[in-house]
Chains A and B, each alone.
Chain A
Amino acid sequence: MADKETTRLCIQIVQDQFGTTPARVAAELLSRGRLRLAHIVRSTSIKSRAAANAILILIQHNILWHCESAVEGEMFEVNWEEVLARLRFGRYISIARDLFGEPAVDILSFIMDHGKVRAGDIVQSLIQGINTKNTALYNSTLISLLKSMYIKPTSAALQISPRDRLIRYQEEAERAKRASAGAKKGPLAAKDLLEVRELARRRLKEEVDNIEGGGFRRRAKDAKETLTSRTPKRQKIDEDVLDEDIYLRVNYAKFNLHIRNRLIEQSASQRYNESAGLVIRAALAAALPSESTLHGVRSEILTMQNIMRHLPPDPPLVGIAIRPSGSGSGSSTEAGTQALMTREYVNILCAADNPTEAGRQSAFMAYSGLSGAVGGGGGKKVAIEYENIGRRLRFKIFETFVRERWGELAIRVLRLLIDKGKMDEKQIAKVAMMSKKDVQPLLTKLVSASLISLQEVPRGADRSAMRTIYLWYIDLAKTYSVILTSLYKTLGNILARKNAETQKVSAILSKRERSDVQGNEENFLTRGEREALTAFEEKRLRLGVLERRVEECVFILRDLAPDGYAGES
């Protein structure tokens, strides 16, 4: 279940995109957990039919999980991550445009508008009113979107909360274990329990993979009316044809990879320079095909050639103060320089000159293999260290936040605490070279913002304040969740403000929507109205940009840490 601020944000999003009734239903589910329809009807006092319709809409848009409990009957639960993902739809569409062009934008928008759509219906609905020549293009785009997993099949099984399914599989596995020959009476041993859990987890994963990996059918003779019959080119390449009866939805994970890659590239360009950004982009592009989620600790192992292949020939890499000597002897061609530069940039991105722990933590890539990079014999391959990068980016967000709010001195104190662990006020003042009268109020501010915590170490059994040492420390996991909550709250505020601004001009907006006014604004709208609209558009644009930027911070803090902040230091 989501916390207060997340709930507020989710309700706002549902309100914006689906209207009041679904928002009220979602609000009830978000604040109370899973509920039966009867409960929802009773507590929201919405009519039963309206509530049921709202639930249907939300299920169609993958926002609700469906739960079948033997005791309670049919229940519903909100998948809040799915709601928050809706804030990124614009970004996803823009990524799709870059990758696949306009048809992909149409297809994606269509799927997003409908939550999940039967594969056969997509192109059919889209080409109505469009030139039929485009059918082939739409079909091939749809297939390539599906093949590259930007959209994925879904099924009724996936409408049930994965946690429920996991529990059920665990129970089944446990029962099987008990029933198996040689099983002892009484509770299962710890080892068996572990095995049971692993079995259930694997079964769940297999189930999801099976459903999501599908979508194609072996081309059979009776399938003459399939889409491929209209796309002879595809027919030659594809052995499989699109299964028209499956339902498709957008695969956020795949798009998130692109967002992540862009952030990594941006970070490298800022930390080093543009060319370093190009090299890491090439490496990321080389690693992308084998990835499907953000869960990987590091990328697959990349060779130098692999990275070079993904480097654009233009602009050439520049920016390192080296140049191949012996120019004029013919050996230093442009390609040679490029190779040399790439190598050196890989060294820089691996922080090869800083083999300490701090250097390793700050590196974008690492040489794979024990031999390392030293000596030249081994270590010819690298991997992108996603987890490392994620940790760094998170910390950068944290740093920016602290710097903006409390200034440079706060950064100094916090980094000091991260580096040294628990410290008392005097030590902090000494090492950070700040006077005690500056440190004291700063620490108080930071502790009231829940960024740092206090550890008491009593010197005697009486625990009197006089005889107690107070040590300050920072728990990054806790700090990050505090920041994430603040970000949700900020997003909620932005959306609320956007609504409030829209409310102010709602009369003019609805006037503009009138069929006689549309395209004829000059005549029907007064000057004051037109000015108000322009001002409103400007405000909406600003708030929209702001919303996306804040959302980016959420992405770094939440999505780049798919396994939580455990072991964060």
Chain B
Amino acid sequence: MSAKKASDLAQRLWTECRNAPNHTITQEKLLEAVGEKESLCKQAINTLLSKNLLLLLTDSKSGKNTYQGISREDAAIKGNMDADEHLVYSHISGSRNEGIWTKTLKARTNLHQTVLNRCLKKLEGKQLVKTITSVKFPTRKIYMRKDLEPSADVSGGPWYTDHELDTAFIESHSEAILVYIRSRSFPEATDECSEMLYPTSVTKYYPTTAQITVWLKKAQISPTELEEGDVQMLLDMLVYSGEIEVLPRTGFRGGGVFDSDESAAEDGDRDHDESGGSDHDEKKRKRKRPASRARSSSSKVEGDDREDENEEDEIASRPVKRRRKSDQSKTRSDRGQPSDDVEFDLDFARVETFDGLGASSASGSWKGSLTGGSGVVYRALRRERMGLGWAQTPCGRCPQFDFCSDKDKGPVNPDQCKYYRDWLEAPIGEISAIDI
């Protein structure tokens, strides 16, 4: 066998390995693939192994030998290392993006400290490894491969800048999220009422974590992109701050459960009626969604608009039809309760739902990301200003409150209190400024 042929075979074997998924292939498959004599192949494989171009692994499940193809560059790097360096490098490399602490490294490699230090220095000199600092253990010296980025665990995720918790970043993002949730939690103010509310049946239009994540990405508040888990952390924080509340997405499905003047028999009837009604509502809502979005999008097409109108007309007429039909079929007497059959018209409650799917919504097959994601939505809370009385008193924020006593008992007393004097002399406007 000529040398050329041998090197050819090695080349083929190596290529097969590199082409395999994960650059890893079992021995059997490799031999099958090249279709040469086993002894020849083994010889070639040995050559490759010695040149660090292949790595022999053992499959943990089957116990079979597998080979991993190593790129030429990596092989060249390894080729230049001595045994200790190689050992150290393999451990650092094995720790992936978590990094490895020097002490652990020493324990694992069983090398002397000076040897280890020399190896690390050399590896650093070759630009193969780097030291990083973990947010968890800021004092530890941790090594990692140069070409990798530290994992979120080590770097602290997006919340850390230069290994310190970036509170300004957190604040700005949570504020932005809060503003978004607020905008989705309350309908626009009307002339009649400046503090509008959504009915209990439309909870599914409040934003979910997934929607907030998508919104945050689109809003581009900062170059750092937050994942859903990160956003969840911010949301939890906001819940603890008492700014928002979390509620199930299912909502409340009983628009008009509240008729105690009805007899039990009629109740049964109406139950049926109502459940039909809510299905109908459901359809209506689903239908309406694209319409509302089409309108909200900047590129309005005339035709679309016309379609919308038609659709709305149709919808508007539907409840009336239905009622007429039900009245005929059940020959119900007029109960003098006009509210009984009134349906909620969610047109009024239209929510600018952000579905995160962008253009696909125009197709009419609206699914939105509401169908995915977690089963909870978030709603902003209006702040109650109960018990402000105490907060308004000078005592409420007095630094000497604990020392304060009666006039005859000590120098700090309400009779000569400076804070009270200021408070009493301050103009009314300034007093109300204490309000939160």
Contact = CB atoms under 8 A, between A and B. Distances in A.
Count chain A CB atoms within 10 A of each CB in B197, B203, B258, B386 and give the residue with the most. B258
Contacts of B203: 353-354
Interface residues of B, number: 92
Contact of B386 (A267, A354, A362, A377): A267
B395 interface: yes
A556 B436 CA distance: 20
Contacts of B413: 496
A380 B259 contact: yes
Nearest to A400: B387
Contacts of A550: 389-390, 393
B199 interface: yes
Interface string A261-287: 001001100111111100000000000
A375 interface: yes
Interface stretch (B70-78, B164-172, B302-310): B164-172
Contacts of B414: 492-494, 496-497, 500
Interface string B246-260: 111001111111111
Interface in B63-109: none
A161 to B, nearest CB: 29
Interface string A509-552: 00000000000000000000000000000010011001011111
Contacts of B270: 376
Given A324-B345, A355-B248, A358-B246, A493 B338 contact: no
Count chain A CB atoms within 10 A of each CB in B316, B381, B386 and give the residue with the most. B386
Contacts of B415: 496-497, 499-500
A275 B194 CA distance: 11
A384 B252 CA distance: 19
Given A324-B339, A399-B242, A353 B251 contact: yes
A340 interface: yes
A463 B406 CA distance: 43
Contacts of A400: 385-388, 390-391, 436
Interface in A471-505: 486-487, 489-490, 492-494, 496-497, 499-501
Count chain B CB atoms within 10 A of each CB in A270, A274, A344, A501 and give the residue with the most. A344
A400 B257 CA distance: 37
Contacts of B233: 433
B271 to A, nearest CB: 5
Contact of B387 (A271, A486, A553): A553
Given A321-B187, A354-B248, A412 B237 contact: yes
B180 interface: no
A276 B201 CA distance: 17
Given A489-B404, A539-B424, A331 B341 contact: yes
B401 A486 contact: yes
A552 to B, nearest CB: 6
A309 interface: no
B300 to A, nearest CB: 24
A432 interface: yes
B137 interface: no
Contacts of A322: 199, 344-346, 348-349
A411 B241 contact: yes
A375 to B, nearest CB: 6
Interface string B410-427: 000111110010011000
B184 to A, nearest CB: 12
B384 interface: yes
Interface in B291-341: 316, 319-320, 323, 337-339, 341
B384 A271 contact: yes
Contacts of B396: 401, 404-405, 490
Contact of B342 (A325, A355, A381): A325
A379 interface: yes
Given A376-B270, A435-B167, A489-B395, A323 B386 contact: no
B339 A326 contact: no
Interface string B343-372: 111111100000000000000000000000
B115 interface: no
Contact of B338 (A274, A335, A553): A335
Given A326-B342, A353-B252, A415-B241, A318 B386 contact: no
A497 B422 CA distance: 13
Contacts of B407: 496, 500
A290 interface: no
A227 interface: no
Given A332-B338, A433-B234, A412 B192 contact: no
A318 B192 contact: yes
Interface in B199-248: 199-203, 233-234, 236-237, 240-242, 245-248
B245 A397 contact: no
Nearest to A431: B236
Contacts of A432: 237, 240
Contact of B390 (A362, A490, A501): A490
B392 interface: yes
A305 interface: yes
A25 interface: no
B387 A397 contact: yes
A272 B245 CA distance: 14
B386 A321 contact: no
Interface string A414-426: 0110010000000
A551 to B, nearest CB: 8
Interface string A320-340: 111111100111110111011
Contacts of B339: 324, 335-337, 339-340, 343
A346 interface: yes
Nearest to B385: A270
B144 to A, nearest CB: 23
A305 B407 CA distance: 58
Contacts of B274: 376
A359 B200 CA distance: 12
B193 interface: yes
Contacts of A329: 320, 323
A362 B420 CA distance: 36
A300 to B, nearest CB: 15
A393 B407 CA distance: 34
B386 A336 contact: no
Contacts of B259: 304, 380
B254 A397 contact: no
A352 interface: yes
A469 interface: no
Contact of A358 (B234, B245, B392, B417): B245
Interface in A353-368: 353-356, 358-359, 362
24 contacts: A8-B406, A271-B381, A305-B260, A321-B187, A322-B199, A322-B348, A325-B320, A331-B323, A336-B337, A343-B256, A354-B245, A356-B247, A362-B245, A375-B254, A380-B257, A396-B386, A411-B241, A431-B240, A435-B165, A493-B404, A494-B393, A552-B387, A553-B387, A556-B387
Return the 3 tightest CB-CB contacts between A and B, nearest first.
Answer: A549-B389, A397-B387, A273-B195
Given A321-B198, A335-B338, 4 more contacts: A270-B384, A324-B345, A354-B245, A551-B389
Interface of A: 8, 263, 266-267, 270-276, 303-305, 318-326, 329-333, 335-337, 339-340, 343-344, 346-348, 352-356, 358-359, 362, 373-377, 379-381, 393, 396-397, 399-401, 403-405, 408, 411-412, 415-416, 419, 431-435, 438, 486-487, 489-490, 492-494, 496-497, 499-501, 539, 542-543, 546, 548-553, 556
